[in-house]
Amino acid sequence: MNSDLLLLFIGALIGWTLQRISDISTRPNITMSIEDSATFIDRASNINYKFLHIKVKNNKRNLFIKFFIGNQTANVARSWISFIDILTNAELLKINGRWATTKEPVDYKGSVNIGDAIIASRETIPPDEESVIPITIKQEGKKECFAFNNESYLYSWQKPDFELTEKRYKIKVKVAAEGSEWI
């Protein structure tokens, strides 16, 4: 009886280990990098804005690995951005990320849709494609810089709670999809 229990335990342990290896190896292959800043010109007011972006890419696997485990899509990916004090490593601000490729939270008249502005932005990134998360915005000629996400639209892109008063920050970007997280 004891040997049957031991075999059952060993079988369960092997099954669990194989399942974990399968889960880890078949998750999307996400990498992140700082993207060149982008400039937006508001033609109505003739004001220039500069954005800092993080590029999130779902890398394609090589042919050999792809044959065995495939390339997975990062479905319904969500992101968070943390602004961390350089000296103390204290998190000063944490916000939901906004995927630049998703619809802006405005209606066809240009009014902000409050529901879309407060709901976390989600994105699907197929293999060998990328998406961008704008993380800060700065108006040309002004010294103030702001963290940026969908809520920023409620405050003409400059939410007072998102003002970045320090000169330098560590920035931590977290992306979650398919039960996995990347930082």
pLDDT in tens, the chain (183 residues): 678 888 888 888 998 888 877 776 667 888 899 887 777 777 667 788 899 999 999 988 777 666 666 778 888 999 999 999 998 999 999 999 999 988 888 887 778 888 888 888 999 999 989 999 999 999 888 888 999 999 999 998 899 999 998 888 899 999 998 888 888
In a domain, 49, yes or no: yes
C-alpha torsion sign, points 117, 119, 120, 123: negative
Could you write out the three-class secondary structure of 28-44?
Answer: CCEEEEEEEEEEEEECC
pLDDT of residue 47: 82
Q: What is the pTM of this model?
A: 0.79
In a domain, 164, yes or no: yes
Measured CA distances, 48 to 41, 66, 140 (Å): 4, 44, 5
pLDDT of residue 148: 94
- Which two tokens mark 65? 């690995």
On whether the CB atoms of residues 139 and 158 are closer than 8 A, the answer is: yes
C-alpha 128/C-alpha 59 separation (Å) is 5
C-alpha 63/C-alpha 141 separation (Å) is 49
In a domain, 78, yes or no: yes
- Which two tokens mark 101? 């490729």
Measured CA distances, 52 to 80, 81, 139, 140, 167 (Å): 15, 12, 12, 13, 15
pLDDT of residue 79: 95
C-alpha 57/C-alpha 69 separation (Å) is 18
- Provide the domain count of the chain: 1
Structural domain for 118, as ranges? 29-182
In a domain, 160, yes or no: yes
pLDDT of residue 116: 86
Instruction: Output the CA torsion 38→56→74→128 (10° steps).
Output: 90
In a domain, 68, yes or no: yes
In a domain, 91, yes or no: yes
In a domain, 23, yes or no: no
In a domain, 2, yes or no: no
